[in-house]
């Protein structure tokens, strides 16, 4: 059973300035719920109720969000508004939240390494909250991956097909098909030019990692953009042992970009919000 899930949330969110000037990008709301809460709900649904944040300066609002707000709750107690907090209160009760800081922006691999003490020596999930994954009426993406982990006992990355003109924004994998939606990874490149991409299968922000990845990251030199890339560490792991790529069921929205964010907002308003209003 995987219990821990790591959320690297130290990034500045420059694509959303000025909205993110004084507010963490993970707190941007998709309709009436901050982006990060969708990710935490997905992790908890998958049984990963020990949430570990790798955070940074200016991210205080995240800690406050996953805590009781006494004044506010006292103020709305007994009113019709109380129920708006029921869900987040349950989440806070069901999960634990730990925080550590990444004090240098050295890439996703480095951010994950900073979580080592929080995670310890067990397999763990990683959620990039920018990627909103929904599988309405079905199992969440992390829960699907946790199930696969029980089968393969190795690191797993979630992948999806991406048009050629957008492939250079992603980690890209190639490998041998194990079944319709599972591929054993043999090649993995961070943000390749379209003509050098080994396939059209892009890694999205959901990972299950075995703890040997930490030693591998420590040995991984800076790669693309001079940053320590989890993609490079995973390629080493794929060569030394095994990494599986999984074409998940559900939808993924790139909420790190304005068009993806708007698309997610419209989708959630239509499919989730109106349903919860009934
Ligand atoms: C990160 C990873 C990349 C992955 C992407 C998914 O990139 O480095 O391999 O494909 O997340 O969203 P970022 O988007 O943070 O630059």
Domain boundaries, the chain: 4-277
Q: What is the pLDDT of residues 144-181, one digit of tens each?
A: 999 999 999 999 999 999 999 999 999 999 999 999 99
Pair of tokens at residue 278: 């009934």
Residue 204 CB less than 6 A away from ligand 1: yes
- Residue 223 backbone phi and psi in degrees, to 5: -120, -125
Residue 71: both structure tokens together: 């004044």
Tell me the CA–centroid distance for residue 1 and ligand 1, in Å.
Answer: 26
Output the pLDDT for position 84: 86
* pLDDT value for 276: 52
pLDDT of residue 278: 47
Give the pLDDT score at 17: 93
Closest CA to 219 of 113, 125, 114, 106: 113
Residues 6+ apart with CB under 8 A from 16: 25, 28, 258, 261
Helix (H, G, I), strand (E, B) or coil at 212: coil
Q: 259: CA distance to ligand 1 center in Å?
A: 17
Query: What's the CATH architecture for 4-277?
Result: Alpha-Beta Complex (3.90)
Q: Quote the pLDDT of residue 80.
A: 85
Determine the pLDDT at residue 251.
97
- Taking 50 as the pLDDT cut, the residues of the chain under it are 278
Residue of the CA atom closest to atom 13 of ligand 1: 170
Euclidean distance between CA atoms 7 and 173, whole angstroms: 22
Pocket test for ligand 1, best of 126, 130, 170 (most atoms within 8 A of CB): 170
Q: Are 253 and 131 in contact (CB under 8 A)?
A: yes
Q: For residue 277, what pLDDT is reported?
A: 52
């Amino acid at each position: 059973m995987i219990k821990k899930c790591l959320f690297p949330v130290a990034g500045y969110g420059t694509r959303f300035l000025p909205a993110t000037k004084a507010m963490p990008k993970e707190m941007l709301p998709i309709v009436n719920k901050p982006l990060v809460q969708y990710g935490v709900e997905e992790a908890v649904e998958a049984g990963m109720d020990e949430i570990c944040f790798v955070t940074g300066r200016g991210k205080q609002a995240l800690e406050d969000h996953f805590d009781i707000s006494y004044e506010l709750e006292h103020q709305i107690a007994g009113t019709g508004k109380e129920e708006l907090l029921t869900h987040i209160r349950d989440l806070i009760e069901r999960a634990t939240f730990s925080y550590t800081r990444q004090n240098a922006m050295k890439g996703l691999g480095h951010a994950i390494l900073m979580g080592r003490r929080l995670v310890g020596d067990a397999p763990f999930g990683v959620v990039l909250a920018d990627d909103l994954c929904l599988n309405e009426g079905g199992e969440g993406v992390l829960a699907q991956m946790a199930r696969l982990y029980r089968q393969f006992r190795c690191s797993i990355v979630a992948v999806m097909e991406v048009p050629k003109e957008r492939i250079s924004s992603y980690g890209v994998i190639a490998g041998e098909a194990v079944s319709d939606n599972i591929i054993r990874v043999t090649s993995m490149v961070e943000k390749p030019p379209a003509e050098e991409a080994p396939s059209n299968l892009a890694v999205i922000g959901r990972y299950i990692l075995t703890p040997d990845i930490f030693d591998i990251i420590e040995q991984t030199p800076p790669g693309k953009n001079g940053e320590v890339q989890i993609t490079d560490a995973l390629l080493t792991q794929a060569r030394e042992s095994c990494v599986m790529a999984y074409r998940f069921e559900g939808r993924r929205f790139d909420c790190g970009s304005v068009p993806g964010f708007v698309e997610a907002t419209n989708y959630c308003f239509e499919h989730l919000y109106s349903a919860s209003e009934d």
